[in-house]
Amino acid sequence: MMAALALDRGAVRGRLVADAPLAPLVWFKAGGRADWLFEPADLADLQGFLRQLSDDVPVMALGLGSNLIIRDGGVPGVVVRLGKAFAGVSVEGDMLVCGGGASGISVASSARDTGLAGLEFLRGIPGTVGGFVRMNGGAYGREVADILVDCEVVTRDGSCRTLSLAELGYSYRHSALLVGAIVVSARFRGVPGKPEDIAAEMARIAAAREASQPLRSRTGGSTFKNPPGHKAWALVDEAGCRGLTRGGAQVSEKHTNFLINTGEASAADIEALGEEVRARVKAHSGIELEWEIARVGRAP
């Protein structure tokens, strides 16, 4: 049953849509609908909306929809998607101030243009600031914890607060951010560098991704976390899962830590394939893979 919203609609300036399809907004292009999809006009609009919202209505933030399976039964409550109003990037000395809706490519490119090195790896993260700050996203030997100064979040009650790096409690692909807290901005620190050198490193990362990952497929990025001392893709490959299928879902032939939607996969197909891979890896190596991709929503 879709959650009813008791709101003063006249006080909401952003876009609020009931029974909104989410499959077009996620990389897998599969999954159900949101009870409500809200795209706030600005920070004040987001805060005002959350303050009006009943405490029993769940809230989930959605970025670019990578690293995410939306289950076929859809997402209860409200999905908040930060749009252009939250996509800005500006410079403060050796720091970039980035909106929660800014993409990794946008942040890395702004750092290049400003002559700030150390942020090139963000070119390899297919998500937004809000997403990779929450999960301590990383690639090519670096992670958000290496560059983050602090971030600004809006909590479920509409309050806004700034959290330091220490307060985020980062570990591998994990933070201590509360469920329902939405990252609306973050500050990242770089070091002085030559734009041409930064551009060359970004080009190297882009070429490496293109060569090794199924970027032109409907995928969700890295499926499983790397266990200590192991590479997830190698464990999956050694367990004989390369090319394994379930319905319309497949383990990528190009990179075995990627699942792909071959065309008509349901979210259930994709998640079930991931669980089958986990079972085969456990049986083969004794290692239990942990999902890196978030799986949210109701079963159909």
- Confirm whether 171 is a catalytic residue: no
The DSSP call for residue 96 is E
Query: Of 71, 81, 112, 173, which is the active-site residue?
Result: 173
- Confirm whether 222 is a catalytic residue: yes
Query: Of 66, 103, 109, 222, which is the active-site residue?
Result: 222
- Confirm whether 275 is a catalytic residue: no
Question: Residues 6 or more apart from 19 whose CB is under 8 A from it?
Answer: 2, 33, 34, 35
Query: Of 120, 143, 271, 292, which is the active-site residue?
Result: 292
Measured from the Cβ of residue 97, the count of other Cβ atoms closer than 10 Å reads 17
Question: Which residues are part of the catalytic machinery?
Answer: 173, 222, 292
